[in-house]
Amino acid sequence: MKIAILGYGTVGKGLVEMIDSNKGKRNIEIASILVRDKNKYKSSKYEHLITEDIEEVFNKEFDILVELIGGLNPAYKYIKRALESKINVVTANKDMLAEYGDKLVKIAKENNVSLRFEASVGGGIPVLKPLIESLEGNLIESMYAILNGTTNYILSKMYDENLSYEEVLKEAQELGFAEANPESDVQGYDAARKLSILSTLAYDRRVYWKDFYLEGISNIDRKDIYYAKKLGCKIKLVGQSKLNDKKVSGFVRPVLVDNNSLLSRIDNEYNIVVFNVDSVGEVSFVGKGAGKEPTGSAAYADVIDIFDKRVCNIDSFTKEKIEVEKIINHNCEALLRFKSPKKDKIIELINDCVYEHEVIDSNEEELAVMVSVDSEHEINNVLCFINNKGYCKECTRLIIII
Ligand code: NAP
Ligand code: HSE
């Protein structure tokens, strides 16, 4: 059993440690390890296998290429080359699957080799395999999830320890949770890519990540946390998608979750995925969504599955793209915050347009109102009126999920 590994960072090291600790049980030989700068690995145990030259990697014999570099380029080129050379591929790269999953699955099929990517969603949580195999034959109607460890870690620390966004982001990077470019985490792109992978497999149609409503956590401030506590809630970056006949609706956005809800109990780098399944009801998967050991474990399991010739059907990636609705089209509640507003005018307008509202805070600096609406369109209309009348230029909203 011989593999070549591209990338020896957080996940690469996690995988190699897992291979080492399982020697005797499963003997996996490492043919080579590709890195950008081999000087960093001078005294490493595997220094003799480390190279900066991809040709050196492909010149050796191996059965599986494990891609743990990240990003689209040159990772796409390397994965494509391996598949076309009839070499199986394991990857943790959700950017790649979300963008080029259709092309890569097609190439893998044409060449009769496997492409596995358990580590790309939910870190160490085995979720793709149960979704593809154990829930086969069921109709997945909807899902909701916390899919990004970095942002969940940041929001948890802001809530529990009153730390600032910037301080905690730095900590999450040091712990190896964040992407090379943490914009992907904090702007919600990473969670949207993972939600698109899950939705594609669950609904058997290609769901493209950029089609979801997408909002990150970079604007969440201490005052949002203050309101969340006052309302008996936490703030979480949540992904949700639902199959509605010929369309999917979905979003990734920060939301208020009730302190008694399942989502509110998922803190730090932990992730959760909950599927609503026709014959089983709610099925949930919880665990560490980022970090060396959890992700190394998921990549290791993929390698073993390929060696043990367990195949899984990922044809959904090659299916037609399905339309995605971004707006919440049902009853919802939201906290609206208006900065430097004409307070009385805004309350008057909200009173005229919205079914139910409650003022949560009203001071010199801002007005915070909880509204109850039939759909998010109503909120958009009120905010449009307020903006056009010049009552307030800056408003933020946080939807509540029970
Ligand atoms: P990382 O710590 O930044 O490591 C990346 C590794 O790839 C480094 O060894 C780097 O070399 C090497 N590399 C980068 N660009 C390269 C290039 N052009 N040519 C050759 N080598 C290159 O990243 P990571 O956190 O392990 O993430 C790897 C992948 O796993 C990404 O797709 C990420 O999204 C995904 N993932 C990460 C986690 C997590 O918790 N970190 C969890 C799930 C999935 P140097 O060492 O020389 O810089
Ligand atoms: N940056 C990602 C996260 C790594 O924080 O969830 C795991 O995919």
Single-letter amino acid code for the residue at 34: L
How confident is the model at residue 3, as a pLDDT?
98
Find out whether the peptide bond into 74 is cis, omega within 30 degrees of 0: yes
Residue 295 Cα distances to 18, 137, 165, 176, angstroms: 10, 28, 25, 11
CATH number of the domain enclosing 33: 3.40.50.720
Q: At how many degrees (to 10) do helices 149-161 and 165-174 cross? A: 130
Is residue 99 located within the same domain as residue 133? no
Are 53 and 133 in the same domain? Answer: no
**Which tokens go with 52?**
């900066």
Residue 23 lies in a domain: yes
Residue 200 Cα to ligand 1 middle (Å) = 25
Residue 69: exposure state from Cβ atoms within 10 A (0-12, 13-18, ≥19): buried
Element (H, E) at 141: strand 140-146
Residue keyed to tokens 């805070």: 361
Dihedral class, residue 309 (left if φ above 0, else alpha if ψ from -120 to 50, else beta): left
Three-state DSSP at 311 gives coil
Is residue 240 domain-resident? yes
Does residue 315 belong to any structural domain of this protein?
Answer: no
**If you count DSSP H runs as helices and E runs as strands, how many of each does the chain have, helices first?**
13, 17
Mutate which of 117, 120, 190 to test ligand 2's pocket (most atoms within 8 Å of Cβ)? 190
Residues 219 and 88 in one domain: no
Catalytic residue among 157, 194, 236, 292: 194
| One domain for residues 135 and 226 | yes
pLDDT of 340 reads 76
Do residues 281 and 339 share a domain?
Answer: no
What pTM does this model have?
Answer: 0.97
Residues 115 and 176 in one domain: no
Residue 9 Cβ < 6 Å to ligand 1: yes
Residues 268 and 149 in one domain: yes
What are the structure tokens assigned to 342, written together? 């004409």
Strand partners, 106: none
What 8-state DSSP symbol labels residue 130? I
Claim to verify: residue 142 and residue 273 sit in the same structural domain: yes
Q: Would the CB of 79 count as within 6 Å of ligand 1?
A: no
DSSP notation for 266-310: --TTEEEEEEEETTTEEEEEEEE-SSHHHHHHHHHHHHHHHHTT-
Binding-site sequence positions for L-homoserine? 179
Longest dimension (CA), the chain: 74
What's the distance, Cα to Cα, between the start and end of the chain in Å?
48
Pocket of ligand 1, candidates 69, 100, 147, 302: which has the most ligand atoms within 8 Å of its Cβ, to mutate? 69
Is residue 296 included in any domain, yes or no? no
- Tally of domains in the chain: 3
In this structure, which amino acid lies at residue 166? E
**Residue 314 and residue 370 in contact, taking contact as beta carbons nearer than 8 Å:** no
Is there a domain that residue 375 lies in? yes
Q: 340-360 burial, b for 16+ CB within 10 Å, e for fewer?
A: ebbbeebbebbeebbeebeee
**Which atom number of ligand 2 is nearest to the Cα of residue 172?**
5
At residue 402, the pLDDT reads 64
Beta bridge mates, 50: 33
- pLDDT value of residue 11: 98
Query: Distance between CA 138 and CA 141 in Å, rounded?
Result: 9
Taking CA atoms, 391 is separated from 30, 50, 339, 395, in Å, by 64, 62, 10, 11
Specify if 202 maps to a domain.
yes
Same structural domain, 85 and 23? yes
CATH of the domain at 239: 3.30.360.10
Look at residues 120, 141, 164 and tell me which one is the last residue of a structural domain. 120
Please name which of 251, 236, 283 lies closest in space to residue 126, comparing C-alpha atoms. 283
**Closest ligand 2 atom, residue 178 Cα:** 1
User: Do both 132 and 255 map to the same domain?
Assistant: yes
| Among 91, 120, 149, residue at a domain's last position | 120
Give the CATH number of the domain where residue 376 resides: 3.30.70.1150
In a domain, residue 294? The reply is no
DSSP assigned state of 91? E
In this structure, what DSSP letter does residue 134 have? Answer: I
> Are 146 and 248 contained in the same domain?
yes
Sign of the Cα pseudo-torsion (121, 127, 129, 132, in order): negative
Integer Cα distance of 84 and 116 in angstroms: 15
Q: Give me the pLDDT at residue 245, please.
A: 84
**Active-site residue 194, yes or no?**
yes
User: Which atom in ligand 1 lies closest to the alpha carbon of residue 14?
Assistant: 26
Residue 14's domain comprises: 2-120
Place of tokens 């805004």: 346
> Looking at the domain assignment, is residue 228 inside a domain?
yes
Instruction: Point out the domain boundary residue: 120, 152, 177.
Output: 120
Same domain, 36 and 103: yes
Burial of 36 per CB tally in 10 Å (0-12, 13-18, 19+): exposed
Q: Ligand 2, from 68, 93, 150, 153: best to mutate by most atoms within 8 Å of Cβ?
A: 150
Tens digit of pLDDT per residue, the chain (402 long)?
999 999 999 999 999 999 999 999 999 999 999 999 999 999 999 999 999 999 999 999 999 999 999 999 999 999 999 999 999 999 999 999 999 999 999 999 999 999 999 999 999 999 999 999 999 999 999 999 999 999 999 999 999 999 988 889 999 999 999 999 999 999 999 999 999 999 999 999 999 999 999 999 999 999 999 999 999 999 999 999 999 988 999 999 999 999 999 999 999 999 999 999 999 999 999 999 999 999 999 999 999 999 999 988 999 999 999 999 998 888 999 999 998 778 999 999 999 888 799 999 999 889 999 999 999 999 999 999 999 999 997 899 999 986
Q: What angle do CA 103, 91, 315 make, to 5 degrees?
A: 40
DSSP-based helix, strand, coil % in the chain, nearest 5 = 40, 25, 35
Reduced to 3 states (helix: H, G, I; strand: E, B; else coil), residue 157 is: helix
Q: Who lines ligand 2 at CB under 6 A? A: 123, 148-150, 177-179, 185, 190, 289-290
- The one-letter amino acid code at 277 reads V
Whole-angstrom Cα distance, residue 319 to residue 113?
19
